[in-house]
């Protein structure tokens, strides 16, 4: 039985590949026929990197707990940390229509999370940190389901 939880006491970027491997394995285990592993790895990465670089910041490395389960026809990723409360509206929104000269990349990571997941639930201040749930619906098994 593969572990359902990925936990770090001191989250650092060097551990990102291990975290993504965990997400990929859980997707294969829980939804082998659904092509959601790419999107879930990307979304989890962006949240993790944002936590390491901004939530905790350069000087501090803090804990993170990532759980991935299947519920109600969707894959649920729950990410918990002990960083100061994060308000998603405080992040910039990238201008995806901007030309090369004007284009900046601030806010791109969280924008991608929003675009790739079906639902994103931020709970700043949850149990002294933050809780984030990423929900990715799985297509119905029978034909006639929605196109991707």
Q: How far apart (Å, rounded) are the C-alpha atoms in residues 34 and 141?
A: 9
Minimum CB separation of residue 105 from another protein in Å reads 5
For residues 2 and 96, which CB has a smaller minimum distance to another protein in the complex?
96
Q: From residue 59 to residue 98, what is the string marking binding to another protein with x (rule CB under 8 A)?
A: -----------------------------------xxxxx
Give the DSSP per-residue string, 104-147: --TTHHHHHHHHHSSEEEEEETGGGSEEEEEEEEPPPSSSSPPP
Strand 74-81 and strand 5-8: the pairing is: unpaired
14 binds another protein (CB under 8 A): yes
C-alpha span between 1 and 140 (Å, rounded) = 25
Q: Out of 6, 8, 75, 109, which residue is the one contacting another protein (CB under 8 A)? A: 109
Give yes or no for residue 126 binding another protein (CB under 8 A): no
Out of 6, 45, 130, 134, point to the residue binding another protein (CB under 8 A). Answer: 45
**Using CA atoms, how far apart are residues 52 and 61, in angstroms rounded to an integer?**
7
Least gap, CB of 84 to another protein (angstroms): 21
Helix pair 37-50, 16-30: axis angle to 10 deg: 150
- Nearest approach, Cβ of residue 16 and another protein (Å): 4
- Is the CB of residue 64 less than 8 Å from the CB of residue 48? yes
Q: Which residues bind another protein (CB under 8 A)?
A: 13-14, 16-17, 20, 38, 41-42, 45-46, 49, 94-100, 103, 105, 108-109, 111-112, 115-116
């Amino acid at each position: 039985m593969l572990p359902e939880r990925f936990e770090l006491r001191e989250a650092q970027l060097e551990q990102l590949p291990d975290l993504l491997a965990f997400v990929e394995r859980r997707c294969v285990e829980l939804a082998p026929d659904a092509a959601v592993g790419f999107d879930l790895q990307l979304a989890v990465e962006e949240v993790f990197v944002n936590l390491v670089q901004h939530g905790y910041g350069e000087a501090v490395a803090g804990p993170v707990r990532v759980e991935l389960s299947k519920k109600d026809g969707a894959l649920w990723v729950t990410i918990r940390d002990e960083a100061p409360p994060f308000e998603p509206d405080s992040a910039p929104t990238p201008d995806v229509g901007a030309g090369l000269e004007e284009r900046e990349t601030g806010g791109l990571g969280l924008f991608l999370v929003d675009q790739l997941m079906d639902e994103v639930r931020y709970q700043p201040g949850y149990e002294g940190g933050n809780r984030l749930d990423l929900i990715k619906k799985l297509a119905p098994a029978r034909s006639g389901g929605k196109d991707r």
